[in-house]
Amino acid sequence: SKYTIVDKETCIACGACGACAPQIFTYDDEGLSYVSIDENAGISVIPDKLVDDLLDAYEGCPTNSIKISEMAFNGDPLKFG
């Protein structure tokens, strides 16, 4: 299983992730990305059919702000380093 979360401290609102994975990422009123599925808590398993999109977004983020783990983040993007 994969979980994901955006580090909004480093996101520069480039908009690439939502283009790659519109069913996972959306933007707040400043254009910063967050995971729409769980309000960026990193606690929801990403459905298998969306994992390819997730990996595309992960690889495309210019600031490495998208975090992915096999375990839940519980709201902390830096939980696993």
> Residue 4's closest CA among 32, 38, 30?
38
- Least distance from C-beta 3 to ligand F3S, angstroms? 15
Alpha-carbon gap, residue 27 to 48, rounded angstroms: 22
Residue 24 CB, shortest distance to ligand F3S, in Å, is: 10
Return the H-helix or E-strand segment holding 20: helix 16-20
**Which residues of the chain form contacts with ligand F3S (CB under 6 A)?**
6, 11-17, 33, 61-63, 65-66
Please state the closest distance from residue 8 (CB atom) to ligand F3S, in A.
Answer: 8
| 8 A C-beta contact, residue 25 and residue 42 | no
Nearest CB to ligand F3S, comparing residues 15 and 47:
15
